Amino acid sequence: MAASETILSVKDLRVRFRTLDGAVEAVKGINIHVKSGETVAVVGESGSGKSQTMMAAMSLLASNGEASGAVDYRGRNLLALSKSELNKVRGRKISMIFQEPMTSLDPLYSIGNQLIEPIRRHRGLNAAEAREEALKLLRLVQIPDPERRMKSYPHEMSGGQRQRVMIAMALANDPDILIADEPTTALDVTIQAQILMLLAELQRKLGMAIVFITHDLGIVRRFADRVYVMRYGEVVEEGEAEAIFANPQHAYTKMLLAAEPTGTKAPPPPNAPVLLEGRNVEVTFKIGGGFLAGEPLLLRAVDRISIRLKRNQTIGIVGESGSGKSTLGRALLRLLPSDGVIRLGDRDISSADRQAMRPLRRELQLVFQDPFGSLSPRMTIGQVITEGLLVHEPALSGKQRDQRAVEALREVGLDPNARNRYPHEFSGGQRQRIAIARAMILKPKVVVLDEPTSALDRSVQKQIVELLRKLQADHELSYLFISHDLAVVRAMADYIIVMKQGKIVEEGPTEAIFSDPQAAYTQTLMNAAIDVTRFRLSA
């Protein structure tokens, strides 16, 4: 790569947003350069300014944002170009793919229409020629049956396929630079791996430079030649990828590298009592049907699954989206109607109605994935976490409840003085602690954790994992830990169930599953998530 020329250089770039609380500086004078054909990763956690840097370079900032400094592309400052000049570079020389495959394509136009448009615009081809090009591109990104797919609409395709179409659109005019902003974050791990491999292969074929914006160090390690580490709008460290991974200099980089959750959980003693048991649990959803509309479609989301959760055990339920793992968790808590037998301790709750479940809810708590949506924005966190006490311990006085809130907040590592503040004043990690405090205040026996760390930055994830482990040790809790993230599951669970399409494909003790996966699907999952071999071995 040494001989290649620098084609893009970001010089002293600053990005400011005017907000109601005054100007916020998201990017504080950073310098980044990209050479032809290389892969550069810009790494950072949420709020580091890594996306805004590239948005500013492409003049895609929100209307209240403004950029200063310079973004030189082959001798021209993109920030100073007129809109029509800029539109000859965007999508032609520099193109971009985004994090949200579900919403980044226009839902109202067919794939073909959307592919043809930039080709015609930038290359002046006629409709028939552009159509041929579009077909070629769909083949290039390995979309099966491209002729038919040209007529498809985005909603008729999966997330992975949509991201392939996005890549095809971005590569349509043979760009110099492809900016990929978290292109695989919203995808399942196996699809992630496919998309990354596709990008690596396309880069080998077409030779464009790739700027990878990501929070995922796994991707960086496998993909990048050079790395910029960003925090709070500044580049804190830069260098060759291998050097940074082998010998990080800045404390923040070290922290990021150490942020992968580590450790394992020992299984409970063999004579530990079974707290929650499901036998042949089945959940079926009806789709459609109704007055004059014919028979509904039946979808079996959970298909005869049996599970035994012992005291002080953590069962990790692993699977990709649509595998039925969350549905299973909800069915076991009797939050969804299901068939089969569910037992809590020695009590059969298979047919317990809402009324009968209410006193038992205290022992069965749930923590959700989304720390932003799962706390009522109109209640103080003190009210949020003590609400359950009103139901389960109505005899408590206001003062006693407040005392319990203080204890619960302290236990999850939050300042108890914060209990009169509202959820929006807290960060994602803090909110997840609040959600955990809300479950813990009732002193439950079983907690279902539904992707509790998935919406959080890695460094925060690690803290939450440690908190959950400490709470488990202190209170002999049993967890049902639902996650698609194998690294976190490995650190949390002593037993793993792998689900696919509502069925168990494999189960067993964590180390056995990780060291010797039997089912082909488990192996695919492992390879996609854990394998650290590089996709691309550049010179």
Binding site for another protein (CB under 8 A): 58-60, 62-63, 83, 86-92, 95-96, 98, 100, 103-110, 117-118, 121-122, 153, 155, 166, 169-170, 291-293
Separation of alpha carbons 248 and 440, rounded Å: 38
Return the number of the residue (290 or 394) whose C-beta is nearest another protein.
290
CB 284 within 8 A of CB 300: yes
Phi, psi (deg, nearest 5) at residue 202 = -65, -35
The SS3 of residue 35 is strand
Return the number of the residue (195 or 491) whose C-beta is nearest another protein.
195
Cα–Cα distances in Å, from 18 out to 57, 63, 81? 18, 9, 23
Return the number of the residue (26 or 169) whose C-beta is nearest another protein.
169
Return the number of the residue (110 or 142) whose C-beta is nearest another protein.
110
Q: Least distance in Å: CB of 4 to another protein?
A: 24
Return the number of the residue (186 or 467) whose C-beta is nearest another protein.
186
Q: Least distance in Å: CB of 315 to another protein?
A: 37
Separation of alpha carbons 363 and 439, rounded Å: 9
Which helix (DSSP H) or strand (DSSP E) does residue 13 occupy?
A: strand 6-19
Residue 204 has a CB neighbour count (10 Å cut-off) of 12
Return the number of the residue (62 or 539) whose C-beta is nearest another protein.
62
Tokens at 158, concatenated: 């999966």
Q: Least distance in Å: CB of 106 to another protein?
A: 4
Q: Least distance in Å: CB of 111 to another protein?
A: 11
CB 388 within 8 A of CB 438: yes
Cα–Cα distances in Å, from 224 out to 16, 121, 209, 240, 537? 28, 32, 11, 8, 10
The full DSSP string for 231-297 is ETTEEEEEEEHHHHHHS--SHHHHHHHTTS-----PPPPTTPPEEEEEEEEEEEEEES-BTTTBPPE
Separation of alpha carbons 212 and 220, rounded Å: 8
Return the number of the residue (96 or 217) whose C-beta is nearest another protein.
96
3-state secondary structure 498-538: EEECCEEEEEEEHHHHHHCCCCHHHHHHHHHHHCCCCCCCC
Tokens at 389, concatenated: 């006490």
Q: Least distance in Å: CB of 162 to another protein?
A: 11
Separation of alpha carbons 189 and 249, rounded Å: 30
Return the number of the residue (181 or 225) whose C-beta is nearest another protein.
181
Return the number of the residue (183 or 329) whose C-beta is nearest another protein.
183
Q: Least distance in Å: CB of 196 to another protein?
A: 20
Return the number of the residue (49 or 261) whose C-beta is nearest another protein.
49
Q: Least distance in Å: CB of 140 to another protein?
A: 17
Q: How far apart are the first and last CA of the chain?
A: 6
Return the number of the residue (106 or 132) whose C-beta is nearest another protein.
106
Q: 159-171 and 189-206 helices cross at what angle (nearest 10)?
A: 20
Q: Least distance in Å: CB of 469 to another protein?
A: 37
Question: Scanning the structure block, which residue is given the tokens 């992630």?
Answer: 192
Q: Least distance in Å: CB of 167 to another protein?
A: 12
Q: Least distance in Å: CB of 51 to another protein?
A: 11
Q: Least distance in Å: CB of 155 to another protein?
A: 5
Instruction: Give the gyration radius of the chain's Cα atoms.
Output: 26
